[in-house]
């Protein structure tokens, strides 16, 4: 039978709750404030540029078409 007076270690639960609160606060800031929306738009733009550059390099490497040409076509396809 389990001893009901034995102390249990709840540090994992406390850390999980603190991390959840931190993540929820960050998501709320990004979603509900104008500064957060600006930050998300900036990150989205940078991510899109990096992804386009990466894929242009891969396509250029596989097809032999110059990377600048591939990026020009990507710009017309992906907006």
Q: What is the pTM of this model?
A: 0.51
pLDDT of residue 21: 96
Task: Report pLDDT digits (tens) over 34-64.
Answer: 998 888 888 888 998 898 899 899 999 899 9
Token pair recorded at residue 79: 């907006």
Rounded to 5°, angle at Cα 58 from 56 and 64: 85
Distance, CA of 20 to CA of 26 (rounded, Å)? 10
Please report how the helices 34-63 and 67-77 are oriented relative to each other, as an axis angle in degrees rounded to 10: 130
């Amino acid at each position: 039978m389990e001893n009901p007076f034995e102390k249990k270690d709840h540090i994992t639960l406390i850390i999980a709750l603190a991390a959840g609160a931190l993540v929820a606060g960050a998501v709320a800031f990004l979603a509900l404030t104008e500064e957060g929306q600006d930050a998300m738009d900036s990150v989205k733009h940078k991510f899109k540029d990096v992804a386009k550059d990466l894929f242009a390099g891969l396509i250029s490497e596989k097809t032999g078409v110059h990377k600048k040409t591939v990026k020009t076509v990507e710009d017309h396809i992906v907006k």
